[in-house]
Amino acid sequence: MSFNGLAKRIIPCLDVKNDETVKGTNFVHLRKAGDPIALGKAYSEAGADELVFLDIAASYEERKTFTNMVSRVAREINIPFTVGGGISTMEDVERLLYAGADKVSINSAAIKNPGLINQISKKYGSQVCVCAIDARLDEDGWYCYIKGGRERVELSLFDWAKEVADRGAGEILFTSMDHDGVKQGFANEALAELAETVPVPIIASGGAGKKEHFKDAFLKGKADAALAASVFHFGEIKIPELKAYLRNEGINVRL
């Protein structure tokens, strides 16, 4: 079987609070899902291509705990990992890269201070800067949200995606808030439009419930990577089985 293009990536996402992995639905109703370091190591060994760790508390005390966790993760895994949550200054970026992260993900901070994208990509290279965008399909179109999905900003998803790519972000992590945790599939139409609109890789997030959803994100949504949390944390989908399935469906993945 021959494959075109770069391999598609499978990325487990770990939301971390008080040194534990938690998972919610539509950004609320959190439940515990295990030790982030043990989970990260297990995913690395199971064939995940990358990992994302998000500090969802990101208060001052939590920050120190999270930075220590990043250092411990870096010692345990051998795949690239991205960290995000509460990153708003170059000092935050430096602290996490120094602790061992490969990339940083910025979201609300980028909307408040778009120049941060330029600063990160200029100093460390665009591959280090992942711009996360949380958006929802409202009556007047796709709009961006900040503060963990609590506050809408008057920025259209597609305009903002273009701007962050122009400013040097290396990837866009797009989460459809309506799809988050409900396991009904990714926002494939919006993903496909993003793929047409911007020249950087798009990571699909929000909606994974079964293997077919990943296939659709890659084929219909034209995503470069697909990120999921609960289906991996709670053992509903095993990464080696998912990759074998995708390979069988003609999708180029690293086995």
Residues taking part in catalysis: 15, 134
Q: What does the radius of gyration of the chain's CA atoms come to, in whole angstroms? A: 17
Q: Are strands 202-205 and 225-228 parallel, antiparallel or unpaired?
A: parallel
- At 212, which amino acid appears? E
CA atoms within 13 A on the CB side of 158: 12
